[in-house]
Amino acid sequence: MAEARKVILIAVAIVAMVATGTRMGTALAQNSGAPNPSANAETKQKLKNLAAGEVEAKRLLLLMDRDQSGKVSKQEFMTFMEEEFQMLDVNKDGELDVKELTQSRLVPHGGVHR
């Protein structure tokens, strides 16, 4: 998978994980009944997946955090995504089509967006 496409998918996955984590926390707080072994296994798997997502989120933070503040500002995020868009827009028409998104063979520029 091309690096830029992977980064975009990671950003989408992070948003989904945050939403899932919020729902899971609510569900765990509401679960006051007898322990259910299959629910416990499912909860453990969700926590494992969430931890894996945190690793990717930290990697993404390092790529986007240009001022090295440990946080990503809206401007840093938008600049990063603009650069990714420009690399994916092979024909430079200002739009991404299915071919550009699925057949991109991008090589990370220096491995980091700095």
- For the segment 36-61, what is each residue's pLDDT rounded down to a tens digit? 666 788 888 888 888 888 888 888 89
Answer with the residue of higher pLDDT: 107 or 98: 98
Pick from 3-17, 35-49, 89-103: least confident: 3-17
CB 56 within 8 A of CB 8: no
User: What token pair was written down for 113?
Assistant: 């967006």
Q: Looking at the chain, how many residues does it have?
A: 114
DSSP-assigned letters across all residues of 61-106: HHHH-TT-SSS--HHHHHHHHHHHHHHH-TT-SS---HHHHHS---
Question: CB-based contacts of 28: which residues, under 8 Å, 6+ apart?
Answer: 43
Percent of the chain with pLDDT over 90: 30
pTM: 0.51
